[in-house]
Amino acid sequence: MPKLKTKSGCKKRFRFTATGKVVASQAGKRHGMRKRTNRFIRNARGTTIMDESDTHRIVQYMPYGNSK
């Protein structure tokens, strides 16, 4: 079998934890900060664990990045 290719955009945006969960940056922080509340901006710092319903798509894009 040939090697599977990893999506280049996916490997730049996501990474896996040791237990196989997907870590992603917080959404909604690119532009339009004036209309966001200070509470939203404060809570959207850093990274977050992606929901399980979206994780399967990232696992397909990164066949060798998943530690499970």
The SS3 call for residue 15 is strand
68 pLDDT above the threshold of 90: no
- In percent, the amount of the chain with pLDDT more than 90 equals 87
pTM for this model (two decimals): 0.81
Mean pLDDT of the 12-40 span: 95
Of the candidates 21, 28, 18, the one whose C-alpha atom is nearest the C-alpha of residue 59 is 21
Residue 61 pLDDT exceeds 90 = yes
pLDDT of residue 65: 82
Residue 18 has pLDDT above 60, yes or no: yes
Quick one: DSSP state of residue 18?
Answer: T
> May I ask the CATH class of domain 8-61?
few secondary structures
